[in-house]
Amino acid sequence: MDVFFQILASGLTLGAVYAISTVGLALVFGAMNMLNMSHGALMALGGYMAWFTMTGLGLPPVAGMLVAVLVCAGVGVLIYLLIAGPMLRSEGFETRVFIATIGFGAMLESVILMAFGPQPKPQPLAVQGGLSVAQVHLPVQNLLILALAMVLMAALALLLQKSRIGRAIRATAQNRDAARLMGVRVGMVYALVLAISGGLAAVSGITVSSLSSLLPNMGGDPMLKAFIICVVAGLGRVPGSVVAALFIGLFEAVVQYTVGVRFSFASLLLLVIVVLIWKPQGVFGRHQGVRL
């Protein structure tokens, strides 16, 4: 029974980390059909910004989080202004922006490498210590990550469902021309969506690095998993991707305990293959029927 709770706790933490990185990707894809391949580099940037603010400048953790989120949100806007915006009306937008963001991500990673060097650094924005409930040991850091993820998801859901700007985002996602006819400035919506996604990438980068360490290419692996989760959930389904992230976190924890850590990524990919055979549009996805 203790083992069960231990797996549950580590699985949920893993899922929460995945959820934060996945939701940013899903939001951008859902709103503008854009796969942002520089999401991983944004995660690394966020982690390093927190490190720089706290270790470099000696500021408190809140400042570290804030600077990381603001810088990455700003880079999100930059991605809109330099890449997505100019391409938006061109043919084959999805393919072009996919390739262009790979390039942007590589550049960003190189800048981080040049600025901070290739050696791993510890993430200062982390909490030591743990709680022991019965025989289950829970690191405080993991509990914080879980709580943070839940607060962020709830805030995002509230923003999308209840606010005026959230209605504009959903309208733009569902029908761009119709949204413009309602008076929605879709350029602003896209810039904002990329900024939110950038901010989420920063938080995600901080959580990932707090569980391991900072490296310029640390975003690659979590981004790959975030894409896998997006595909499993159905591309662009924001609430679905949260559920899928938690499920995959649990799945990975179970596999790691029962079969072994070295099989966890392989079984994850196997799961994706099975899901895509069973439901090619993703578990929560829908066929985009031809509109007449």
Question: Where on the chain is the footprint of another protein (CB under 8 A)?
Answer: 164, 167-168, 170-171, 174-175, 177-186, 291-292
Shortest distance, position 112 Cβ to another protein, whole Å: 37
Q: Least distance in Å: CB of 159 to another protein?
A: 15
Least distance in Å: CB of 241 to another protein?
A: 16
Least distance to another protein, CB of residue 177, Å: 6
CB of 239 to another protein, least distance (A): 12
- 3-state SS record for the chain: CHHHHHHHHHHHHHHHHHHHHHHHHHHHHHHHCCCCCCHHHHHHHHHHHHHHHHHHCCCCHHHHHHHHHHHHHHHHHHHHHHHHHHHCCCCCHHHHHHHHHHHHHHHHHHHHHHHHCCCCECCCCCCCCEEEECCEEEEHHHHHHHHHHHHHHHHHHHHHHHCHHHHHHHHHHHCHHHHHHCCCCHHHHHHHHHHHHHHHHHHHHHHHHHHCCECCCCCHHHHHHHHHHHHHHCCCCHHHHHHHHHHHHHHHHHHHHHCCHHHHHHHHHHHHHHHHHHCCCCCCCCCCCCCC
Using the minimum distance from each CB to another protein, give the nearer residue, 189 or 194. 189
- Cα-only R_g, the chain: 19
Residue 207 or residue 241: which is nearer to another protein going by CB?
241
Toward another protein, which CB reaches closer, 61 or 239? 239
Structural tokens at position 175: 């029908």
Q: How far is the CB of 284 from another protein (least distance, A)?
A: 12
Please identify, using beta-carbon distances, which residue of 262 and 291 lies nearer to another protein. Answer: 291
Least distance between another protein and beta carbon 233 (Å): 15
**Closer to another protein by Cβ: residue 92 or 118:** 92
Q: Which is nearer to another protein, 154 or 181 (CB)?
A: 181
Partners of 133 in the beta sheet?
A: 136
Between 277 and 292, CB nearer to another protein: 292
Closer CB to another protein, residue 72 or residue 192?
Answer: 192
Q: C-beta of 95: minimal distance to another protein in Å?
A: 19
Quick one: how far is CA 205 from the chain centroid?
A: 9
State how beta strands 136-139 and 130-133 pair. Answer: antiparallel
Degrees, nearest 5: CA angle 230-93-161:
50
